[in-house]
Amino acid sequence: MALATKTPTFNGWPVFPNDDIGSDFKAVTVRATVVQASTIYYDTPATLVKAERLVAEAAGNGSQLVVFPEAFVGGYPRGFVYGVSMAYHTTNGREHFRKYHSAAIDVPGPEVDRLAAMAGKYKIHLVMGVIERNGYTLYCTVLFFDSQGHYLGKHWKLMPTEAERLFWGFGDGSTIQVFETQIGKLGVEIYCAPTADSSNEWQASMIHIAIEGGCFVLSANQFCKRKDYPPHPEYVFASAEEDQTPDTVVCRGGSVILSPSGTVLAGPNYDGEALISADLDIGEIARAKFDFDVVGHYARPEVLSLIVNDQPTNPVTFASTSTKIEEKSK
């Protein structure tokens, strides 16, 4: 796998991921890796083993930030219809959803603890796409960890796309967060975009986000062949099944790293499983903002403004509980 070889520096001195550089240090150059690899479907323990192997490889090549694809832990149900049609569900479809639900993880939970330990062991900032089990509803979730092995928080997919709405719940504004870390602000300065979209149009969207946001964009997608999923008839790819062989590519990847100017730093890769790496010159963010700062000198809040409801939207609340809280506060 081709990897960048330039060593990050700080004030002219080389900086490596294992250096103890203090909590007030802000890296000048960050080596980032996006992982392009497939889930081991319906086998979450094996997927976590694979994830650690890939993290170890990226860390061994100097990476300080590693971003995994959407739904890497738990799986992306590509091409699967779960026996669903309007006002109709099959018994087999319900059973397949049970298996998918079983492969998902709880947050917090033992898998989250393992991912945190992984980040701390290899001293990398880790961004991991998972399928989260919250009761009996599943969410497409991204988890964030720092290089000390701390779980920072999560982001729920706000609006599942197309048929994803059959399987995943809608996120809310409580998980639209920015995580300030030693290597920069994840979500603003370094925009991590786990995805399942391998289209050419996705590449255009990523370039636009990089330029509009004046940020680095790290887009990680799975590369999958038919043989990476359970065999037919256990897993059926809708009407395309008859045209597929074990080596048929069902997701071609396209993972990419972009600068704040929209320049491609690495990728897009369509060749197979890979680690795609680049060195991010953090100074590029300020250079890009000089031209176009959407929430700074380019903002016109008296004309256009954005209000984000960042409160959890719990489906059930109890008036008696809120009344008791109010009485205690008096």
* Catalytic residue list: 70
Phi, psi torsion values for 195, nearest 5 degrees: -150, 170
- Distance (Å) of CA 130 to CA 22, 91, 157, 187, 292: 31, 26, 11, 17, 34
The helix or strand, by DSSP H or E, that contains position 277, with its residue range, turns out to be strand 274-281
Residue type, 309: N
Q: Which of 59, 58, 54 is nearest to 17 (CA)?
A: 59
Phi-psi region of 242 (alpha: psi -120 to 50; beta: other; left: phi over 0): alpha
- DSSP lists the bridge partners of residue 208 as none
Which residue shows structure tokens 């996705």?
A: 202
The pair of three-digit structure tokens given for residue 223, joined into one six-digit string? 């590369």
